């Protein structure tokens, strides 16, 4: 089958009014990726060599988004929403290029699995003209019913056009189908709109092909595979299913998730074996975690790279550009952004490290802040190997702490510190013997005098 060319036509012209959203429905994300991009991924995994997206509502925004996740896709605008067959025909130009297989898919069915698409394509390879992907939903209301006779699919009847007997059929149209490329346009051009909704139904090609004596079959996919998203509750349901699958995949690949139901992955999270993830951890897009790391509870990680045997959290925030090298530690209530924490360096408590390098083995004391921003520009802080920054220090960038440099606690460092130097950026302590007692007595008698005056 692999040598057969395949065009995936993805229908995404719907308005998605039930999302109650200013952005097109199919751009709402699952695991941080627009749902239509999940559909594109599935099409590619099923061997699609060409991609045609049929768009309508929010065309400019759609084109911009598509450029990001499917730069090679062609987009076609369906000006008027006259039905699914009419929508497929908006991509006529692409279909006419002569692909072996045409795979029609919906942009709002993000959990479609590549195996179901490949199975439909396989039927074409075996000689079918049309292979419809069916499924058995717990409640078939609203779906088109698949009407079969002797192992052949003879018709798909939309709910509104069904007889009472037909409504009892549990095998439904998932919406997607594979159509032989050399028949597709001819069959689609024969579709009329003589039905309850007055739309041009893609599903009519089943009867049209059957009447011509062509082979038409149905394949079966899982319910989840066919889950269409119409509102935010269904979006959350799809997200839940996606996360459950991904967690299982991670665990089977050797990652320990202590409470898997509380860990959230992104579409592109990479995580190595023998890494332990404690409860309530969020992985935003662009995260790469090597093996043997520990991610403690309540950490929020996005756009970050974490090497082997690092220790992160609890309650750590790694933002884009955080790059933790082997055995680095970023502890509780620390934020790291656009900064490299080199091998074995420790940033353990209540610290902000942004636009910086922390050299190997350096120790950053509690409450240290890199002051990287003056309200207009960002500046770099370079902390050398083995440096020690005392607690509650402010490093005002641009500034360098040399190798083995020492910064006294509570310093505000505005000038670079040479290698092995000790820098104080604060007033020296003054101690006055007996002064504490004297002060206490003075304050007590003042308070007593005030109380007497009020009586």
Contact residue for ligand UD1 among 6, 9, 12, 30 (CB under 6 A): 12
Which of the stretches 12-20, 181-189, 282-290, 373-381 binds ligand UD1 when contact is defined by CB under 6 A? Answer: 12-20
CB of 78 to ligand UD1, least distance (A): 5
Find the binding residues for Ca ion in span 212-241 (CB under 5 A): 228
Cβ distance to ligand UD1 smaller for residue 54 or 362: 54
- Interatomic CA distance for residues 178 and 182, integer angstroms: 12
Contact residue for ligand UD1 among 28, 30, 43, 106 (CB under 6 A): 106
β-sheet with 294-295: strand ranges across: 256-257, 276-277, 294-295, 311-312, 329-332, 346-349, 363-364, 388-389, 406-407, 422-423
**How is residue 316 written in tokens?**
């750590």
CB of 252 to Ca ion, least distance (A): 33
Cβ distance to ligand UD1 smaller for residue 83 or 181: 83
CB of 59 to ligand UD1, least distance (A): 12
Residue 372's alpha-carbon distances to 247, 249, 282, 325, in angstroms, are: 37, 39, 26, 22
Residue 312's alpha-carbon distances to 258, 267, 275, in angstroms, are: 15, 21, 11
Using rule CB under 5 A, residue 137 touches Ca ion: no
CB of 329 to Ca ion, least distance (A): 50
Site string for ligand UD1, 152-171 (x = CB under 6 A): ----x-x-------------
Total residues at interface with Ca ion (CB under 5 A): 1
Site string for ligand UD1, 201-240 (x = CB under 6 A): xxx------------------------x------------
Using rule CB under 6 A, residue 116 touches ligand UD1: no
Cβ distance to ligand UD1 smaller for residue 13 or 30: 13
Cβ distance to ligand UD1 smaller for residue 234 or 419: 234
- DSSP-assigned letters across all residues of 157-177: E-GGG--HHHHT---EEEEEE
Contact present, 398 and 378 (Cβ < 8 Å): no
Single out the residue of 56, 54, 61, 55 nearest to residue 22, CA to CA: 61
- For residue 263, whether the previous peptide bond is cis, meaning omega lies within 30 degrees of 0, is no
Cβ distance to ligand UD1 smaller for residue 153 or 156: 156
Residue 10's alpha-carbon distances to 65, 66, 105, 152, in angstroms, are: 15, 12, 5, 26
Q: How many helices (H) and strands (E) does the chain have?
A: 10, 35
- First-to-last CA distance in the chain? 99
Contacts of 300 (CB under 8 A, 6+ apart): 281, 282, 284, 316, 317, 318
Site string for ligand UD1, 363-402 (x = CB under 6 A): ----------------------------------------
Cβ distance to Ca ion smaller for residue 228 or 410: 228
- Interatomic CA distance for residues 305 and 286, integer angstroms: 8
- Interatomic CA distance for residues 267 and 68, integer angstroms: 15
Find the binding residues for ligand UD1 in span 168-187 (CB under 6 A): 172-175
Using rule CB under 6 A, residue 143 touches ligand UD1: yes
349 is catalytic: yes
- Interatomic CA distance for residues 129 and 216, integer angstroms: 6
CB of 65 to ligand UD1, least distance (A): 15
Find the binding residues for ligand UD1 in span 324-353 (CB under 6 A): none
Residues known to be catalytic: 349
Question: What residues line the site for Ca ion (CB under 5 A)?
Answer: 228
Question: What residues line the site for ligand UD1 (CB under 6 A)?
Answer: 11-14, 54, 78, 81-84, 86-87, 106-108, 143-144, 156, 158, 172-175, 201-203, 228
């Amino acid at each position: 089958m692999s040598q057969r060319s395949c065009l995936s036509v993805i229908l995404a012209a719907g308005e998605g009014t039930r999302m109650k959203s200013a952005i097109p429905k199919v751009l709402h994300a699952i695991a941080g990726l627009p749902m239509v991009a999940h559909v594109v991924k599935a099409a590619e995994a099923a061997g699609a060599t060409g991609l045609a997206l049929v768009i309508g509502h929010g065309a400019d925004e759609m084109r911009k988004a598509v450029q990001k996740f499917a730069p090679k896709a062609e987009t076609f605008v369906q000006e008027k929403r006259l039905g699914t067959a009419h929508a497929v025909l908006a991509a006529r130009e692409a279909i006419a290029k002569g692909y072996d297989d045409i795979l029609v898919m919906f942009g709002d069915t993000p959990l479609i699995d590549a195996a179901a698409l490949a199975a439909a394509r396989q039927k074409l390879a075996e000689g079918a003209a049309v292979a419809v992907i069916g499924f058995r939903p717990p409640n078939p209301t609203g779906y088109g019913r698949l009407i079969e006779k002797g192992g052949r699919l003879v018709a798909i009847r939309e709910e509104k056009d069904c007889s009472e007997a037909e409504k009892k059929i549990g095998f439904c149209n998932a919406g997607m189908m594979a159509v032989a490329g050399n028949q597709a346009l001819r069959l689609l051009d024969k579709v009329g709109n003589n039905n309850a909704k007055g739309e041009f139904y893609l599903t009519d090609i089943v009867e049209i092909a059957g009447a011509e004596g062509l082979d038409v079959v149905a394949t079966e996919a899982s319910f989840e595979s066919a889950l269409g998203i119409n509102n935010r509750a269904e979006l959350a349901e799809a997200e839940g299913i996606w996360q459950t699958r991904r967690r299982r995949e991670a665990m089977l690949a050797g990652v320990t998730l202590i409470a898997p139901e509380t860990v959230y992955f992104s579409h592109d999270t990479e995580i190595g074996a023998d890494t332990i993830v404690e409860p309530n951890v969020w992985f935003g897009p662009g995260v790469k975690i090597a093996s043997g790391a520990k991610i403690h509870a309540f950490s929020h990680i996005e756009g970050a790279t974490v090497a082997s045997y690092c220790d992160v959290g609890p309650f750590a925030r790694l933002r884009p550009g955080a790059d933790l090298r082997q055995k680095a530690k970023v502890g509780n209530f620390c934020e790291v952004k656009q900064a490299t924490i080199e091998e074995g360096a420790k940033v353990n408590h209540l610290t902000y490290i942004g636009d910086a390098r922390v050299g190997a083995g350096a120790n950053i004391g509690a409450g240290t802040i890199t002051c990287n921003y003056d309200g207009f520009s960002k500046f770099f802080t370079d902390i050398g190997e083995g440096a020690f920054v005392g607690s509650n220090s402010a490093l005002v960038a641009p500034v360098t702490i040399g190798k083995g440099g020492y910064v006294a606690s509570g310093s505000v460092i505005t000038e670079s510190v040479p290698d092995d130097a000790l820098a104080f950026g604060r007033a020296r302590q003054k101690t006055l013997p007996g002064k504490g007692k004297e002060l206490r007595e003075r304050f007590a008698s003042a308070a007593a005098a005030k109380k007497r005056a009020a009586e």
